[in-house]
Chains A and B, each alone.
Chain A
């Protein structure tokens, strides 16, 4: 399958594993094979899509809760 890879601020490449939308805000979930992951918010910068870090822990929690809820079904499928 095709995956999209992006280099984040730390200079490392991350796979984009999901897109989460909450209250019209779009978030990208990034992950690496060594268990590192990151969440970034999509914003418009000079008319082009860009990513930025989240405002606070609360925003992060909201995104990850949504991410967990979205992937809950994967376990059911396995069983």
Chain B
């Protein structure tokens, strides 16, 4: 479930600079032509150099696109048939003795995994078009910042999840975010309270379903152009750097864990810090947590510079397969 979505997100962002082409192909597709397939197909067209962007936009790839859509329809029917035939699995369990430590590790692993894979769903609506939602988001962020724990915590979190970005298309279709608008939304929310900046950035990252760091880099770039560049030594700049480090760290956990050779103890620390952030917010990280992040990020970054693109692609594919079942 999540693997496909994450794969699609990766490809969407790779294609973000070719948005017109994606949009053109999407216009040819029926509703069942999913975002995942749309971007994968667009990528294939480009990688195989069958058509240039211009040729696609001029309709020269239309026959190819129609053929692909037919194949997709057949695949869709096949999947639906399989789903209909899917049987329930009777609950048959056996008992096993395990240690409480091991059990806690299973919980932590799942907490962290749930965060990595995506804990929020994607819905439409844009924060910038909805004043009430903006207000809700501000209240939510303020609540996080004050470390309060009210009953509607999850409700507020969902509001943020559903509105901190713009999505075009319906629920089952393209997942294409408007990065400049996200940046502007963050500026709006934090304009009267710069202290909320880091929370806003980190929540945005999580709400983007742990999307590629490239995407957050683009958002950060917009932020720097708009507010940070004017005062490079400002507290906001420092916070931006902290956030970027954290994002690097999170990405490395997602994709590079197997090559970095973290020890069991380090990996346990990683899980705890990610899960703790996800549960109680960035402000709850203590100095030890921050030091842990700093050390682990350095270790990961040291490795990253030695990796080639092919290795990274291979790791991404592997990591994608590892997430969920």
What B residues does A5 contact at CB under 8 A?
A: 93-96
Q: Does B278 contact A (CB under 8 A)?
A: yes
What A residues does B120 contact at CB under 8 A?
A: 61, 65
On whether A1 and B100 interact (CB within 8 A), knowing A31-B106, A61-B118, the answer reads: yes
The smallest C-beta distance from B89 to any residue of chain A, in angstroms, reads 5
Q: Is the CB of A15 within 8 A of B98?
A: yes
Q: How large is the interface on A (under 10, 10 to 19, 20 to 34, 35 or more residues)?
A: 35 or more
Q: How far is the CA of A66 from the CA of B105 in the complex (A)?
A: 18
What A residues does B115 contact at CB under 8 A?
A: 68
Of B2, B122, B279, the most chain A CB neighbours within 10 A belong to B279
What A residues does B2 contact at CB under 8 A?
A: 57, 60
Q: Is the CB of B104 within 8 A of A74?
A: yes
Number of interface residues of B (CB under 8 A): 48
Q: Which of the residues B91, B111, B279 comes within 8 Å of A6, measured between beta carbons?
A: B91
What A residues does B5 contact at CB under 8 A?
A: 57
Q: Is the CB of A52 within 8 A of B279?
A: no
Q: Is the CB of B279 within 8 A of A3?
A: no
Q: Is the CB of B99 within 8 A of A71?
A: no
Q: Is the CB of B89 within 8 A of A17?
A: no
What B residues does A53 contact at CB under 8 A?
A: 86
Q: How far is the CA of A31 from the CA of B106 in the complex (A)?
A: 6
Chain B residue at smallest Cβ distance from A78: B272
What A residues does B111 contact at CB under 8 A?
A: 67-68, 71
The smallest C-beta distance from A44 to any residue of chain B, in angstroms, reads 9
Q: Does B275 contact A (CB under 8 A)?
A: yes
Count of A-B residue pairs with CB < 8 Å: 130
What A residues does B119 contact at CB under 8 A?
A: 61, 64-65, 68
The smallest C-beta distance from A72 to any residue of chain B, in angstroms, reads 5
Q: Which of the residues B88, B93, B96, B324 comes within 8 Å of A37, measured between beta carbons?
A: B324
Q: How far is the CA of A47 from the CA of B220 in the complex (A)?
A: 55
Q: Is the CB of B94 within 8 A of A1?
A: no
Q: How far is the CA of A64 from the CA of B90 in the complex (A)?
A: 23
Q: Does A50 contact B (CB under 8 A)?
A: yes
Q: Does B244 contact A (CB under 8 A)?
A: no
Q: Which of the residues B88, B118, B279 comes within 8 Å of A50, measured between beta carbons?
A: B88
Q: Is the CB of A69 within 8 A of B153?
A: yes
Chain B residue at smallest Cβ distance from A15: B106
Q: Is the CB of B278 within 8 A of A38?
A: no
What B residues does A52 contact at CB under 8 A?
A: 86, 88-89
What A residues does B103 contact at CB under 8 A?
A: 1, 3, 15, 17
- Contact mask A30-48 → B, CB, 8 Å, 1/0? 0111011110101101001
Q: Is the CB of A68 within 8 A of B86?
A: no
What A residues does B91 contact at CB under 8 A?
A: 6, 42, 48-51
The smallest C-beta distance from B156 to any residue of chain A, in angstroms, reads 12
Other A-B pairs, 11, CB within 8 Å; known A17-B107, A64-B119? A2-B96, A2-B97, A3-B96, A8-B89, A31-B109, A32-B106, A50-B90, A53-B86, A54-B1, A57-B121, A61-B121
Q: Considering the complex of A and B, which 6 residue pairs feature the smallest CB-CB distances, nearest first? A: A50-B88, A4-B93, A45-B88, A31-B106, A64-B114, A61-B121
